[in-house]
Amino acid sequence: MKMLPGRIILRGPAILLVVALSAAGCSTTMPRFVEGPVVWDVDDRANIDPPSETEFYRLQHHFVNFFDRRIRNGLDPLLAAPALDVNRLGGVPTSSWYVNRSEDLRPEDLVRGAGGDLDSPEEHFPWTLTRVKVGGQNPGFLFRDSSGQRFLLKLDKPGTPTIATAAGAVANRLFWALGYHVPDDRVVFFRRQDLLLSDAAIERGISGAAVDAILESHATHLGDGRWRGLVSRFLGGRPVGGYSYRGTRSDDPNDRIPHERRRSLRALRVFGAWLNHVDTKIDNTLDLYTERDGRHYLQHYLVDFDGCLGGYWAARHEARIGWAYDLDLGQFFSSIPKLGLDRRPYEGMNEAVHPEIGLFDAKNYDPARWRSNYVNDQILSANPADLYWAGQKLRWITPLHIAAAVKAARFEDPEAERVLTDILVERWRKTLRWSLTQVSPVEGLDPVATSGDGFRVDAVDALTEAGLDSDLTYCVRVLDLRGRERQKCHEDGFLPSVVVDSATVEGQDYVVVEWIASTPEGRRLPPTSAHYRRVGADGSHRLRSSGGSDDQWVLLGVLRDGE
């Protein structure tokens, strides 16, 4: 049997989607799905030996990103090859990388976030400081609360109260809702007398005066004598560094799919744009050597979200954040012929939308033009099918979910909560429309039996299902495995539903229905193809040359954008 290029069969926990061509000896142009269940949970948590801790070298990271990777991408661009962490319907199963949770979330779940019903450290004063946080844009503290739980306390950027701590709490909850493993991050309030020094901290040379100096220079001080911070609860397990932009981890046998071929990571192109998660460097990810049910394995996290929304602007006050790489050679060289006189879209955008939010708006936002600070191979290799899947996940986030997540910011000014919610909702709508129109956006592809030998597909427009206006028209055709039209493309206006009649499926046990959506300007979107197989009433494979009332058709798989 000949395999479709770009698709491989992986034995063990990483097996997700298998697409093969028809039987050997037949010259075909259409891929064919092999039989099997739809995988929604992947066991990539086999017991492994303790891996080594990887180090993050900041200067090397920046050199590779801004020079080596840019040159290599220019000479040998990353191919938007099909994702490998997907099932036959194009979905991403739950694994050590990702969790399908958004469809079941209630708005109130986002108020609590990843910590759920765990106590806040505010319920367990005093906090005993053990050391000063190192690294990042600003200092903070490591501490234990009176219950013994360990936390990292982060403070706001100097001169920009509330912005970073609010952004960290809100973005953390939204990434958690979208399916990523994240720590329990919360905005907290405390008084100076709530902070004690441990003997270990004193031995390290940390004094009460040093604590006072850090609070005075960085923390947001409220009028009632309290200070504001963002705490992150220590995760159970042993940190072993972040995960790379490409390839796999050599000391983790469970890590079988190159990271640039994971749809769950490629989707950060969409989610990152929505939340302006520009700080996508490797040390904002975490591999945690975890023990559960007697097995030890790596669980993969996203961490450190206080640079999202307007948080990174609070540190640097640069309007270009979200519009250009930190060192954007493309913008630099493109400006040379114009003598630097061309106007960038972000020029003049220097005013914060609110003192507690920073520079983060929806009016000027364009998801197609968004850039992170760094050249990230996962983001660069995202293809239309990946972007569409991200749009599918965004569909399950609603304005009510967004408003609930914003409550976690604990703004001092109630107007800030309203402003940030409105911005996030408008950016969500723009991002949703952009991502869902990367391919022909049809859903509801399960077949429905008809009175004859054929079947009907009551497909729906995903934009309409998401509550957005749609002006797309659809052309639907039916193909056999040789790529020959069995039912010619016909326009049904705004309705993507189709009836596959008996004459079309006569003598066929496998057909492909292809939807192609067109915009009012005549631009055709990449196709969505659904593969169907005939089965008998008992579920057995059936090939018939004429109609049979006991036959059924089942959906085997979905491919988008010709993947």
- Best mean pLDDT range from 70-84, 126-140, 142-156: 142-156
pTM of the model: 0.91
What angle do helix axes 268-275 and 384-395 make, rounded to 10 degrees?
A: 50
Can you tell me the distance from the alpha carbon of 130 to that of 445, in angstroms, rounded to the nearest whole number? 56
Taking residues 306-334, report their average pLDDT.
Answer: 81
What are the domain boundaries of the chain?
38-438, 442-560
Q: Render pLDDT for 189-226 as a digit per residue (tens, 0 to 9).
A: 999 999 999 999 999 999 999 999 999 988 899 989 99
**And the tokens for 252?**
């983790």
What are the CA-CA distances from residue 116 to residues 80, 109, 125, 176, 188 (Å)?
A: 37, 7, 20, 11, 16
Q: Render pLDDT for 414-436 as a digit per residue (tens, 0 to 9).
A: 999 999 999 999 999 999 999 99
Number of Cα atoms under 13 Å in the Cβ half of residue 442: 32
- Per-residue pLDDT band for 349 (boundaries 50, 70, 90) equals confident
Within 10 A of 484 (CB to CB), how many other CB atoms are there?
10
- Asked whether residue 76 carries a pLDDT value surpassing 70, the answer given is no
SS3 392: helix
Q: Render pLDDT for 515-553 as a digit per residue (tens, 0 to 9).
A: 999 999 999 999 999 999 999 765 565 554 444 557 899
Q: Say which range, 53-67, 101-115, 323-337, 484-498, has the weakest mean pLDDT.
A: 323-337
Buried b (16+ CB within 10 A) or exposed e, 56-87: eeeeebeebbbeebbeeeeeeebebebbbbbb
pLDDT, position 3: 32
Within 10 A of 103 (CB to CB), how many other CB atoms are there?
8
pLDDT, position 6: 32
Can you tell me the distance from the alpha carbon of 188 to that of 232, in angstroms, rounded to the nearest whole number? 10
Query: Quick check: 303 and 257 in contact, CB under 8 A?
Result: no
Burial class of 43 by CB neighbour count within 10 A (0 to 12, 13 to 18, 19+): middle
- Per-residue pLDDT band for 136 (boundaries 50, 70, 90) equals low
∠498-504-505 over CA atoms, to 5°? 105
Q: What is the DSSP string of 184-216?
A: -EEEEEE-GGGEEE-HHHHHTT--HHHHHHHHH
- 442-560: CATH class: mainly beta
Q: In this structure, what are the phi and psi dihedrals at residue 237, rounded to the nearest 5 degrees?
A: 130, -175
Q: Render pLDDT for 261-312 as a digit per residue (tens, 0 to 9).
A: 999 999 999 999 999 999 988 989 999 999 999 999 999 999 999 999 999 9
Taking residues 135-158, report their average pLDDT.
Answer: 90
pLDDT, position 495: 81
Average pLDDT, the chain: 88
Within 10 A of 117 (CB to CB), how many other CB atoms are there?
5
- Asked whether residue 65 carries a pLDDT value surpassing 50, the answer given is yes
For the chain, give the percent of residues with pLDDT over 90. Answer: 69
- Per-residue pLDDT band for 345 (boundaries 50, 70, 90) equals confident
pLDDT, position 211: 96
Taking residues 439-459, report their average pLDDT.
Answer: 92
pLDDT, position 393: 97
Q: What is the DSSP string of 217-263?
A: HHSEEPTTS-EEEEEEEPPSSEE-----SSS--TT-TT--S-GGG-H
- Asked whether residue 187 carries a pLDDT value surpassing 70, the answer given is yes
pLDDT, position 561: 84
- Asked whether residue 1 carries a pLDDT value surpassing 50, the answer given is no
Dihedral-angle region of residue 330 (phi above 0 means left; psi in -120 to 50 means alpha; beta otherwise): alpha
Can you tell me the distance from the alpha carbon of 121 to that of 384, in angstroms, rounded to the nearest whole number? 43
- Asked whether residue 42 carries a pLDDT value surpassing 60, the answer given is yes
Contacts of 68 (CB under 8 A, 6+ apart): none
Amino acid at 379: I
Q: Give bridge partners of residue 444 from the DSSP assignment.
A: none
Q: Give bridge partners of residue 460 from the DSSP assignment.
A: 443
- Asked whether residue 338 carries a pLDDT value surpassing 80, the answer given is no
Amino acid at 107: P
Q: Dihedral of the CA atoms 380, 137, 184, 179 (nearest 10)? A: -10
- Asked whether residue 340 carries a pLDDT value surpassing 80, the answer given is no
- Per-residue pLDDT band for 68 (boundaries 50, 70, 90) equals confident
Q: Render pLDDT for 385-416 as a digit per residue (tens, 0 to 9).
A: 999 999 999 999 999 999 999 999 999 999 99
Amino acid at 265: L
